[in-house]
Amino acid sequence: MRTVELFYLPGCPYCVKAKRAQTELKENPVLERVRVRWIDESEERDYADEHNYYYVPTMYVGEKKVYEARPGSSYDEIRDGLKAAMSLALEE
């Protein structure tokens, strides 16, 4: 099983939605096994710069970008993106 790497910024309202989505998705006994590593891009700038994204939250599994939020992303879109990333992590 791989780890989901989730890039975020403190104070980002879309990242708050991602945190809420993680709490919801972890209620699923299968998805609760998936590790989600939260990476504060302001603290891990060099590592963040190695990844191709513009908006946060952005989720990677390995080298694959699974989801990148955009302005106006809804809670459901962010939750579905995180669920897709977690599901992919389970497959690998």
- Sketch out the chain's domains with CATH numbers: 4-91 (3.40.30.10)
pLDDT digits (tens, 9 = 90+) for 5-22: 999 999 999 999 999 999
pLDDT digits (tens, 9 = 90+) for 32-69: 999 999 999 999 999 999 999 999 999 999 999 999 99
Q: pLDDT at position 68, please?
A: 98
Contact 54, 1 (CB under 8 A): no
